[in-house]
A = this chain, B = another copy of it.
Amino acid sequence: MKGLMQGRDLNVSDIIRFASRYHTHARVTTRRAGGGRVVHSYPEIEGRAAQLAHALKRRGILPGARIGTLAWNDHRHLELYYGVAGVGAICHTINPRLFREQIAYIIADAADAMLFVDPLEMSVVEELGAQLKAAGVATLVVLGEDEDVPETALKGHLEVISYEALIAGEPAQIDWPRFDENEAVSLCYTSGTTGSPKGVLYSHRAVVLHGYSTNLPDFFGLRAVDVAMPVVPMFHVNGWGLPYSAPMVGASLVLPGPRPQAADLVDLITASGVTWSAAVPTVWLGVLERLRATRPAIPQQLRITVGGAACPPHIASAFHDEFDITVNHAWGMTETTPCGLFNQRKVENKDMPLAQWHASQRRQGRPTFGVEIKVVDDTGAEVPADGVSIGEMLIRGPWIAAAYFKSRSQDSFTADGWFRTGDVVTQDASGYVEIADRTKDLIKSGGEWISSIALENIAVAHPAVEEAVVIAARHAKWDERPLLLVVLKPGSAAGKSEILDWYSGKVAKWWVPDDVVFVNELPHTATGKLMKAEVRKTFSDYIIARAQK
């Protein structure tokens, strides 16, 4: 027997309509590339998104068409999120820091009809040149005024216009069309550290449910009076959903513009009264250094979320002890819209002393209602939730991918409908998950697993170590052995034996790395992730070569 409730679909346009109608005093503040900030209200953002929607329809963009963006966190990108989705087209965000071949592949695979590009990223599309037209791109829109459109050889292949010219003269009113909530709304490709990038196609339903769940008090917990600054780029899995979840509760947004540096972020925090922010660990390390150097007046009760990579255990206590800033850890992936876990207190640890709680922020968190996880061994059997047993984390729920765009491969999905995260984790009895490794980064020494992340966390806790990575180096006898690479802090010194002694008593002896290599820097992706595959390429034969010397 069916219930007798209104059959109203969850639509992304409802979010911007809601913010525009009920949260007129909230502010969307964008840091401009040229300096200064520009401020919009939600009614203004909705009006400009409506203008964009009319312009897209006028140009024959139909529901289902893909619209690519190579853009940073600013109001125009926010307008694209809503204007593109609002006409049923698919907002396809592209990371401008990917390799050119990857960007070319992604644009061709998505078959983007139009590309919206930040003026600072014009070189990216110029390098692609005629490939764009071949991929089906008809129009290049430069995200700015007419004077931001550079002279470019691309004009020989494509229509090139400014965003402001595109939307000029269009009406700011719109009666947003309604869509089946399972229709696609946005598209994002995995970074493709192994193999070709794979597209994840989000639906209205997934985005709205993800917004509800991540807005719960034990997750991001945004309120209408909050000022939320997503540092995580909007080209990186929906900016962790913030462009949707903040207006859903009427919170103000601070968008840090192109290529923000730590100094820019600290300026925005103080100038705009930021109460909540989210970024990867390397960003927060930079902000921490900047705060220490400048000691500015920080808004009270500032909360920051760290995610995208394992959070070094000392970060949470440093922010709290030195600046009264709360740190929580979140976990997600491109395939999970992206959030699924958040590390917040519950009954059994509500009185846990702060120091211990901060240390526990190395854990990625516990599931929010709507996602379910399962930790399994090679045979698919669940491993005990004891905080020790490791296995791959599977996840399911209405905002978890069921397939990749244009792909028939189901390698990443179990027969009974779970997504294989590729994260090797422990889960304790309370449901808190800690990532031990990526399946592909585990070190198999003499048939036994060693977690590279566990070894890295110990290394970075050493006072002289700035950054560390542990890889599986080939070994004649043990097949693979851990090799540690270290970047020392400026002005610090430490020798190989001092670093290796540091492991004593912290892990089993056979887990201690075989060797230490001191390097000046380590390679990172656009989103701050360590490119471990690159390191492995260079150093996988290091131990064997050493033995042969």
Residue-wise interface mask of A (378-407) relative to B, using a CB-CB cutoff of 8 A (1 in contact, 0 not): 000000000000000000111111111100
User: Which residues of the other chain, B, contact A10 by a CB distance below 8 angstroms?
Assistant: 398
Are A200 and B4 interface neighbours, CB within 8 A? yes
- Name the contact of A1 in the complex, choosing from B64, B216, B217 (C-beta under 8 A): B64
Are A7 and B402 interface neighbours, CB within 8 A? yes
A469 to chain B, nearest CB (A): 32
The residue of chain B having its C-beta at the shortest distance from the C-beta of A203 within the complex is B3
Are B64 and A402 interface neighbours, CB within 8 A? no
Are A205 and B6 interface neighbours, CB within 8 A? no
- Determine chain A's interface SS by DSSP, over half rule: loop
Interface-facing stretch out of A132-140, A262-270, A342-350, A471-479 = A342-350
User: Which residues of the other chain, B, contact A430 by a CB distance below 8 angstroms?
Assistant: 22, 24-25
A401 to B430, CA, bound (A): 38
Are A183 and B25 interface neighbours, CB within 8 A? no
Are A346 and B224 interface neighbours, CB within 8 A? yes
A2 to B39, CA, bound (A): 35
Q: Is A51 on the interface with B (CB-CB < 8 A)?
A: no
A304 to chain B, nearest CB (A): 17
A464 to chain B, nearest CB (A): 39
Q: Is A73 on the interface with B (CB-CB < 8 A)?
A: no
A69 to chain B, nearest CB (A): 18
Are B184 and A401 interface neighbours, CB within 8 A? no
The residue of chain B having its C-beta at the shortest distance from the C-beta of A407 within the complex is B4
Are A212 and B206 interface neighbours, CB within 8 A? no
Number of this chain's copies in the assembly equals: 2
Q: Is A90 on the interface with B (CB-CB < 8 A)?
A: yes
A148 to B224, CA, bound (A): 50
A190 to chain B, nearest CB (A): 13
- Name the contact of A225 in the complex, choosing from B5, B182, B347 (C-beta under 8 A): B347
The residue of chain B having its C-beta at the shortest distance from the C-beta of A10 within the complex is B398
Q: Is A286 on the interface with B (CB-CB < 8 A)?
A: no
A431 to B21, CA, bound (A): 8
Enumerate A394-422 residues with CB–CB distance to B below 8 Å: 396-405, 417, 419
Q: Is A56 on the interface with B (CB-CB < 8 A)?
A: no
The residue of chain B having its C-beta at the shortest distance from the C-beta of A431 within the complex is B22
User: Which residues of the other chain, B, contact A419 by a CB distance below 8 angstroms?
Assistant: 6
Find the residue from A15, A216, A400, A405 having the highest chain B CB count within 10 A. Answer: A216
Interface-facing stretch out of A234-242, A247-255, A489-497 = A247-255
Find the residue from A215, A225, A250 having the highest chain B CB count within 10 A. Answer: A225
Q: Is A113 on the interface with B (CB-CB < 8 A)?
A: no
A247 to chain B, nearest CB (A): 9
User: Which residues of the other chain, B, contact A403 by a CB distance below 8 angstroms?
Assistant: 4
The residue of chain B having its C-beta at the shortest distance from the C-beta of A366 within the complex is B22
Are A3 and B185 interface neighbours, CB within 8 A? yes
A180 to chain B, nearest CB (A): 8
The residue of chain B having its C-beta at the shortest distance from the C-beta of A224 within the complex is B346
Q: Is A162 on the interface with B (CB-CB < 8 A)?
A: no
Are B182 and A345 interface neighbours, CB within 8 A? no
Q: Is A367 on the interface with B (CB-CB < 8 A)?
A: yes
A277 to B27, CA, bound (A): 33
Are B216 and A212 interface neighbours, CB within 8 A? yes
Q: Is A93 on the interface with B (CB-CB < 8 A)?
A: no
Residue-wise interface mask of A (214-237) relative to B, using a CB-CB cutoff of 8 A (1 in contact, 0 not): 011110011111000000000000
Q: Is A274 on the interface with B (CB-CB < 8 A)?
A: no
Known A90-B1, A346-B25; contact A249-B218, beta-carbon cutoff 8 A:
yes
Q: Is A299 on the interface with B (CB-CB < 8 A)?
A: no
Are A367 and B22 interface neighbours, CB within 8 A? yes
Known A15-B369, A25-B348; contact A2-B217, beta-carbon cutoff 8 A:
no
Find the residue from A2, A6, A348 having the highest chain B CB count within 10 A. Answer: A6
A24 to B221, CA, bound (A): 23
Residue-wise interface mask of A (9-35) relative to B, using a CB-CB cutoff of 8 A (1 in contact, 0 not): 110001100100111111100000000
Q: Is A429 on the interface with B (CB-CB < 8 A)?
A: yes
User: Which residues of the other chain, B, contact A14 by a CB distance below 8 angstroms?
Assistant: 369-370, 372
Q: Is A201 on the interface with B (CB-CB < 8 A)?
A: yes
Q: Is A8 on the interface with B (CB-CB < 8 A)?
A: yes
A212 to B369, CA, bound (A): 9
Are A4 and B398 interface neighbours, CB within 8 A? no
List 5 A–B pairs whose Cβ atoms lie within 8 Å, in order of A's numbering: A4-B402, A4-B405, A14-B372, A22-B346, A225-B347
